[in-house]
């Protein structure tokens, strides 16, 4: 440690040398004190604890100021300066202290005097802060100088280390903030890509369905319209796809400008657009759609070519108080659009029940579903879930199938929404869970993944119901993976978080199904007790054709792994997809490449063999929910 002595008397300098010499550390006064405090070994220990001092002597204040300045420049600052108050004929100790403090804010100053020329308060005002100024009276004792020098030198070193630690901590905080901002930006870009059309930057089908799902739960009349361009294929065939893309961008802009206030305009795919808006009634909604078609039916310039625009629209007007299924709302609007195309294009058709032959079929399905269990018409198939590294079967997803005597095989995508609407979903779900757990008992270690709809998840005492089913089957909770959708947890996030926490505490696995098709945020899902995310098959299917789909898949995998979640890729059908997903870091894969859904006996064989194989030539009915 470097110590500066500033005094105009040579004898005082000699006293400092004797006081601070290492040999005097064990002098009688300190030695006796060390023995008294620490025992017989204390004297030697204190000697060992002392550090050598690098002492610089100055006889005048101006010389000391120059020495301090040079030391700071050389990177060898002083830790302590002992300054005499009276130093004729030069500047006094107070002025010396003031100038030294201006050069070195970190140095500890010890004012040494036998007089009272300046009060401590006066010196502190010009050479503060007060906690770095100390006072020593002349004549001083050896122990006083030794203890003061050692204590202040150690404090100076500690202060420097603390300041360095604070600087490092501040730098780490900045880096963490930068990483957090980058993560948030990546998530925002990924979510924007997942919910917006890359050609027009308008909301896409996923966003439209999400908005429609929210609107059907709110009372009041609303209109959902589907608009399709007339003669679009002719533009593509004659002017090329680039011109077709430009026409879509132009029409999208027209729809945005002429849509009713507060309306949502989305590109659903191809040359089809969706419009969602509140309306006072059917007539007002039809007039709004007429204005949109009129705005589109004009001469447009596309890459220097004159193109006659035109469009047709299908419209449905409903009251949100009636709790409609958003998919069914879009289906009705699509039926109305098809009718508009049939009658000559360029018109708006309002949906009515006569357009929906499927209504009769739906009612028949609903009635038949009530008897399906008793008739033995339901069955389960299982699709394996394999690990990325060993391509080993680690679990199966249970998928329900219904083969009716009246209608033949019915796709789950048809009868499960009907069950959800008619409240039969609980009875159907109980059957699926019980039979899946029964089959699970024959597997050597895999888990079974069972889908639960939003209505099932909101069931009173859902946790107790699941627990009872597992106990009755004699299965460990860790062998059951509960698959839920984003809608199920984000409709009531606080209740969902509590439910999932209880399930995880009991050992159940939790998977978020069809991830990427909704508005869920990876930042927000951190509060939910999840084990894995299942990337929706639509993104896997588009990886090889669309840069956006590949970017979304990579973003979901990267961000999901950052949260410590397993990533299961659904709909894997090609070797190229397998390799791309393994490189990207997906932890598990599922799809036709490994196996179609198989009957229970085949699943048992696959479980025992622990690898996926599918020798069946025929393909089973599709469907992802059980």
Position 368 in a domain:
no
Residue length of the chain: 626
pLDDT of 584 strictly over 70 = yes
CA separation for the pair 569, 540 (Å, rounded)? 7
Report pLDDT for 593: 94
Domain that holds residue 279: 205-356
Mean pLDDT of 601-616: 76
Report pLDDT for 503: 94
pLDDT of 491 strictly over 70 = no
What the block records as the tokens of 36 is 């008294």
Backbone phi, then psi, for 353, in 5-degree steps?
A: -60, -25
User: Among all chains, which residue has been given the structure tokens 């802009």?
Assistant: 253
Report pLDDT for 559: 81
CA separation for the pair 263, 185 (Å, rounded)? 28
Report pLDDT for 23: 37
What the block records as the tokens of 479 is 């062998």
pLDDT of 24 strictly over 80 = no
User: Among all chains, which residue has been given the structure tokens 């019980």?
Assistant: 434
Mean pLDDT of 563-584: 92
Report pLDDT for 27: 44
Mean pLDDT of 323-344: 88
Claim to verify: residue 461 and residue 579 sit in the same structural domain: yes
Claim to verify: residue 347 and residue 245 sit in the same structural domain: yes
Claim to verify: residue 113 and residue 235 sit in the same structural domain: no
SS3 percent helix, strand, coil of the chain, rounded to 5, is: 50, 20, 30
Position 50 in a domain:
yes
pLDDT bucket at 614, cuts 50 / 70 / 90: very low
**SS3 label, residue 56:** strand
CA separation for the pair 188, 195 (Å, rounded)? 11
Position 223 in a domain:
yes
pLDDT of 375 strictly over 50 = yes
Q: Which residues contact 448 (CB under 8 A, 6 or more apart)?
A: 382, 395, 396, 397, 398, 436, 437, 439, 440, 479, 480, 481
pLDDT bucket at 215, cuts 50 / 70 / 90: very high
HSE on the CB side for 267, CA within 13 Å? 21
Claim to verify: residue 298 and residue 429 sit in the same structural domain: no
547-562 helix and 575-584 helix, angle to the nearest 10 degrees: 40
CA separation for the pair 518, 611 (Å, rounded)? 32
Mean pLDDT of 305-326: 90
pLDDT digit string (tens) for 134-187? Answer: 988 888 888 889 889 999 999 999 999 999 999 999 999 999 988 888 888 888
Claim to verify: residue 468 and residue 323 sit in the same structural domain: no
Report pLDDT for 49: 44
Q: Give me the CATH number covering residue 314.
A: 3.30.70.270
Mean pLDDT of 580-586: 91
pLDDT of 446 strictly over 70 = yes
Q: Give me the CATH number covering residue 527.
A: 3.20.20.450
Which residue would you say has higher pLDDT here, 23 or 40? Answer: 40
Claim to verify: residue 281 and residue 403 sit in the same structural domain: no
Q: Give me the CATH number covering residue 40.
A: 3.40.50.2300
Claim to verify: residue 333 and residue 431 sit in the same structural domain: no
Claim to verify: residue 426 and residue 563 sit in the same structural domain: yes
Position 73 in a domain:
yes
pLDDT of 601 strictly over 90 = yes
pLDDT of 494 strictly over 90 = no
What the block records as the tokens of 5 is 């002595």
Residue 458 pairs in a beta bridge with none
Peptide bond into 578 cis (omega under 30): no
Mean pLDDT of 79-98: 91
Position 251 in a domain:
yes
pLDDT bucket at 625, cuts 50 / 70 / 90: very low
Report pLDDT for 64: 95
Q: Which residues contact 166 (CB under 8 A, 6 or more apart)?
A: none
Q: How many domains does the chain have?
A: 3
Claim to verify: residue 453 and residue 387 sit in the same structural domain: yes
pLDDT of 46 strictly over 50 = no
Mean pLDDT of 28-57: 57
**Average pLDDT for the chain:** 86
Which long-range contacts (C-beta less than 8 Å, at least 24 apart) are formed by 356-361? 356/332, 358/331, 361/407
CA separation for the pair 251, 254 (Å, rounded)? 5
Secondary structure letter of residue 141 according to DSSP: P
pLDDT of 31 strictly over 60 = no
Claim to verify: residue 159 and residue 231 sit in the same structural domain: no
Q: Which of 322, 356, 390 is the last residue of a domain?
A: 356
Element (H, E) at 85: none
Report pLDDT for 119: 76
% of the chain beyond a pLDDT of 70: 90
pLDDT digit string (tens) for 502-546? Answer: 999 999 999 998 776 654 555 567 778 899 999 888 889 888 777
CA separation for the pair 503, 506 (Å, rounded)? 5
Claim to verify: residue 349 and residue 407 sit in the same structural domain: no
pLDDT digit string (tens) for 384-429? Answer: 999 988 889 999 999 999 988 777 888 898 889 888 877 789 999 9
Report pLDDT for 617: 38
Mean pLDDT of 264-270: 94
What the block records as the tokens of 361 is 């079929």
Report pLDDT for 466: 95
Report pLDDT for 619: 39
Report pLDDT for 356: 76
Position 17 in a domain:
yes
Position 436 in a domain:
yes
Position 525 in a domain:
yes
Claim to verify: residue 500 and residue 548 sit in the same structural domain: yes
Helices (runs of H) and strands (runs of E) counted in the chain:
23, 22
**SS3 label, residue 603:** helix
% of the chain beyond a pLDDT of 90: 54
What the block records as the tokens of 608 is 């025992």
């Amino acid at each position: 440690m470097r110590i500066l002595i500033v005094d105009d008397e040579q004898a005082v300098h000699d006293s400092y040398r004797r006081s601070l010499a290492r040999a005097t550390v064990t002098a009688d006064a300190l030695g006796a004190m060390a023995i008294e405090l620490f025992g017989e070994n204390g004297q030697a220990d204190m000697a060992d604890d002392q550090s050598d001092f690098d002492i610089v002597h100055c006889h005048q204040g101006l010389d000391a100021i120059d020495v301090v300045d040079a030391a700071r420049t050389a990177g060898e600052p002083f830790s302590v300066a002992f300054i005499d108050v009276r130093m004729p004929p030069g500047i006094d100790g107070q002025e010396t202290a003031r100038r030294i403090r201006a050069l070195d804010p970190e140095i500890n100053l010890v004012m040494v005097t036998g007089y009272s020329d300046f009060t401590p308060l006066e010196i502190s005002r010009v050479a503060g802060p007060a906690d770095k100024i100390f006072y020593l009276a002349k004549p001083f004792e050896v122990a006083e100088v030794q203890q003061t020098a050692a204590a202040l030198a150690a404090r100076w070193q500690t202060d420097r280390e603390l300041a360095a630690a604070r600087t490092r901590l501040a730098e780490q905080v900045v880096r963490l903030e930068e990483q957090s901002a980058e993560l948030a930006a990546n998530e925002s870009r990924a979510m924007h890509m997942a919910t917006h059309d890359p050609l027009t930057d308008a909301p896409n089908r996923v966003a439209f369905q999400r908005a429609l799902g929210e609107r059907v739960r709110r009372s009041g009349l609303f209109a959902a319209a589907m608009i399709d361009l007339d003669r679009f294929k002719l533009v593509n065939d004659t002017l090329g796809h680039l011109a077709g893309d430009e026409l879509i961008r132009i029409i999208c802009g027209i729809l945005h400008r002429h849509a009713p206030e507060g309306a949502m305009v989305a590109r659903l795919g191809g040359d089809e657009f969706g419009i969602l808006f509140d309306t006072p009634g059917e007539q007002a909604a039809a007039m709004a759609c007429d204005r949109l078609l009129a705005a589109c039916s004009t001469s447009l310039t596309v890459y220097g070519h004159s193109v006659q625009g035109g469009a047709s629209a299908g419209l449905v007007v409903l009251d949100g108080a009636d709790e409609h299924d958003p998919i069914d709302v879009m289906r009705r609007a699509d039926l109305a659009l098809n009718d508009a195309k049939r009658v000559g294009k360029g018109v708006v058709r309002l949906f009515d029940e006569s357009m929906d032959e499927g209504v009769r079929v739906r009612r028949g399905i609903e009635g038949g579903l009530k008897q399906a269990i008793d008739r033995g018409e339901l069955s389960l198939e299982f699709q394996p879930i394999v690990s990325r590294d060993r391509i080993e079967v680690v679990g199966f997803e249970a998928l329900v199938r219904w083969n009716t005597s009246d209608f033949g095989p019915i796709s789950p995508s048809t009868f499960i929404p009907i069950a959800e609407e008619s409240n039969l979903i609980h009875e159907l779900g109980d059957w699926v869970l019980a039979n899946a757990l029964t089959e699970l008992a024959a597997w050597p270690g895999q888990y079974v993944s069972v889908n639960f709809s939003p209505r099932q998840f909101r069931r009173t005492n859902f946790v107790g119901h699941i627990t009872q089913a597992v106990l009755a089957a004699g299965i460990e909770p860790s062998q059951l993976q509960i698959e839920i959708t984003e809608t199920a947890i984000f409709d009531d996030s606080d209740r969902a978080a509590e439910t999932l926490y209880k399930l995880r505490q009991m050992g159940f696995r939790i998977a978020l199904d069809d991830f990427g098709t909704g508005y869920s945020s990876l930042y927000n899902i951190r509060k939910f007790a999840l084990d894995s995310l299942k990337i929706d098959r639509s993104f896997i299917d588009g990886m090889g054709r669309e840069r956006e789909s590949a970017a979304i898949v990579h973003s979901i995998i990267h961000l999901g792994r950052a949260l410590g979640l397993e990533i299961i890729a659904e709909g894997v059908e090609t070797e190229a997809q397998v390799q791309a997903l393994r490189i990207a870091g997906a932890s598990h894969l599922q799809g036709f490449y490994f196996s179609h859904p198989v009957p229970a006996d085949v699943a048992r064989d696959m479980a025992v063999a622990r690898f996926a194989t599918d020798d069946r030539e025929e393909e089973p009915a599709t469907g992802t929910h059980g």
